[in-house]
């Protein structure tokens, strides 16, 4: 039996250069939207992490008006670029071509923005699209290798180990939901498009099983969950026919072979209406501090409690059945105890906890938000970001939330109004900028 050599980790110089480009800045951030029937208040910090370094600067803009004439905006988080192009350029170019056009709903703005990205060829050429694809392939391959290293406690995985892990990923991702534009995109389509790049990447890695790598990566790529380099875009405001605000979060990763990898985060879509919620608080990116205030408990601590409940119920059940098994007269009872649906019991306990937390903490807060006017909503949104910044400052590691807090209020009657906004220039010295804004 031949001895397998560890797979070498190697990437080309031009690929490393491209990674530096697409990872130029990552917005490790906190943004929040507070909505009620009166308006929507949005707030964002200014911290941005430069590439793979630990350097954090506090100058990023994450709130943009989507239209100069209508009350709709977009917020960004995570990656600050799309296919190497900064998002602020893309959004402002879209705003320029949109002019005074309006749509009936915020969802229609989202659909039109996606169409715009297609029409502009994703703001890059075919070579850049394939290099971006390879960068995600590299992330996927390294993820598999690191998982093998962690599980098997080895310094470098063999090809046999990697093939096994890729097959596991293939089985898991084959059943995952596909992103909408890849619903009819087949593996053969992808193979015809990307086989040369994947084969070249496999050769650089010293990995010979190209078919397994290609197929497992394909199903990983089209699955409906976020990948490295993805950007969160949060569209918020009013369509022409909407009298109450709406919010639509969109996760975008890349464009490839005329298909855009994106999905709407349905769990966070928010629409204020007469028969639905009258107020909502929706945090994005680093959400732990805001969720602590809303729920009355830190999400990490909540997970610890739920894990302890899970282990305690199961260990208690095992302890009882061990005692019953030791006595032949109670063995029938032991079988009955073993047949109990412990997961259902655990789910019932956690559901009751969630119901009590909502009743004691979340509902009173939301009931208060229903009655807030625009100024108080802006103060609340800003406070969520400021508190998150304070917590990060007190913790070890990078201060990934910080800098000036930008705050805006969007209402049906007044449109988009800045409450706090940083400028890279002095407004009093740049009157032409403001006078030319609508030109």
Distance CA 126, CA 9 (A): 26
Across 352-366, average pLDDT: 94
Q: Residue 243: what pLDDT?
A: 97
Confidence band for 274, pLDDT divided at 50, 70 and 90: confident
Structure confidence by residue, pLDDT tens digits, 304-313 = 999 999 999 9
Q: Which helix (H) or strand (E) holds 85?
A: strand 85-86
Q: Residue 239: what pLDDT?
A: 97
Q: What one-character DSSP code corresponds to residue 298?
A: -
Enter the tokens of residue 87.
């998002």
Q: Residue 232: what pLDDT?
A: 96
Structure confidence by residue, pLDDT tens digits, 319-331 = 999 998 888 888 8
Q: Are 142 and 156 in contact (CB under 8 A)?
A: no
Confidence band for 430, pLDDT divided at 50, 70 and 90: very high
User: CA 45 → CA 282, 380, 393, distances in Å?
Assistant: 15, 14, 13
For the chain, the structural domain boundaries read 1-295+374-439, 299-363
> How many CB atoms within 10 Å of residue 190?
23
| 3-state DSSP of 371-401 | HCCHHHHHHHHHHHHHHHHHHHHHCCCCCCC
Q: What one-character DSSP code corresponds to residue 115?
A: H
Closest among 280, 140, 151 to 214, alpha carbons compared: 140
Structure confidence by residue, pLDDT tens digits, 203-229 = 999 999 999 999 999 999 999 986 667
CB < 8 Å & 24+ apart, contacts of 176-180: 176/219, 176/223, 176/224, 176/225, 177/223, 177/224, 178/222, 178/223, 178/224, 179/222, 179/223, 179/224, 179/261, 179/262, 179/263, 180/262, 180/263
Enter the tokens of residue 155.
């310094």
pTM for this entry: 0.89
Enter the tokens of residue 266.
């349905």
Q: Are 190 and 205 in contact (CB under 8 A)?
A: no
Distance CA 44, CA 75 (A): 8
Identify the CATH class of 1-295+374-439.
alpha beta
Q: Are 110 and 250 in contact (CB under 8 A)?
A: yes
| Torsion angles phi and psi, residue 210, rounded to 5 | -65, -35
| 3-state DSSP of 146-188 | HHHHHHHCCCCCEHHHHHHHHHHHHHHHHCCCECHHHCCCCHH
Residue with the two structure tokens 């119901």: 355
Structure confidence by residue, pLDDT tens digits, 33-65 = 999 999 999 999 999 887 666 788 888 999 999
Phi-psi region of 123 (alpha: psi -120 to 50; beta: other; left: phi over 0): left
Q: Are 57 and 404 in contact (CB under 8 A)?
A: no
């Amino acid at each position: 039996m031949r001895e397998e050599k560890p797979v070498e980790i190697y990437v080309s110089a031009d690929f490393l250069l491209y990674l530096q480009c697409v990872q130029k800045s990552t917005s490790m951030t906190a943004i929040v939207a507070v909505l009620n029937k009166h308006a929507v208040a949005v707030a964002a910090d200014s911290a941005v992490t430069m590439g793979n370094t630990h350097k954090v600067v506090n100058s990023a803009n994450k709130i943009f008006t989507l239209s100069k004439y209508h009350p709709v905006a977009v917020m960004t988080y995570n990656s600050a670029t799309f296919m190497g192009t900064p998002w602020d350029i893309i959004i402002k170019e879209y705003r320029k071509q949109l002019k005074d056009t309006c749509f009936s709903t915020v969802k229609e703005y989202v659909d039109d923005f996606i169409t715009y990205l297609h029409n502009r060829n994703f703001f890059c050429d075919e070579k850049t699209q394939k290099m971006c694809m390879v960068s995600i392939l590299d992330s996927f391959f390294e993820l598999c290798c690191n998982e093998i290293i962690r599980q098997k406690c080895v310094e470098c995985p063999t090809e046999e180990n990697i093939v096994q892990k890729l097959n596991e990923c293939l089985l898991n991702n084959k059943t995952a939901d596909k992103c909408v534009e890849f619903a009819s995109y087949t593996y053969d389509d992808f193979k015809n498009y990307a086989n040369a790049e994947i084969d070249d990447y496999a050769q650089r890695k010293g990995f010979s099983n190209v078919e397994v790598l290609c197929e497992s990566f394909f199903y990983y790529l089209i699955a409906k969950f976020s990948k490295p380099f993805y950007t969160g875009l949060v569209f918020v405001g009013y369509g022409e026919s909407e009298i109450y605000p709406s919010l639509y979060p969109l996760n975008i990763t890349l464009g490839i072979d005329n298909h855009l990898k994106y999905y709407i985060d349905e769990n966070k879509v928010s629409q204020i209406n007469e028969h639905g919620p009258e107020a909502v608080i929706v945090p994005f990116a680093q959400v732990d501090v805001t969720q602590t205030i809303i729920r009355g408990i830190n999400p990490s601590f909540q997970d610890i409690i739920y894990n302890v409940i899970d282990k305690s119920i199961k260990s208690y059940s095992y302890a009882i059945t061990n005692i019953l098994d030791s006595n032949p007269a109670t063995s029938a009872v032991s079988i009955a105890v073993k047949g109990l649906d412990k997961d259902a019991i655990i789910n019932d306990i956690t559901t009751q906890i969630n119901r009590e937390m909502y009743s004691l903490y979340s509902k009173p807060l939301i009931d208060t938000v229903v009655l807030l006017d625009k100024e108080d909503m802006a103060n609340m949104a800003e406070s969520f970001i400021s508190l998150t910044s304070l917590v990060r400052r007190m913790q070890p590691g990078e201060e990934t939330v910080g800098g000036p807090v930008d705050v805006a209020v969007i209402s049906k009657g007044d449109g988009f109004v800045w409450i706090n906004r940083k400028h890279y220039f002095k407004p009093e010295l740049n009157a032409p900028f403001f006078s030319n804004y609508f030109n």
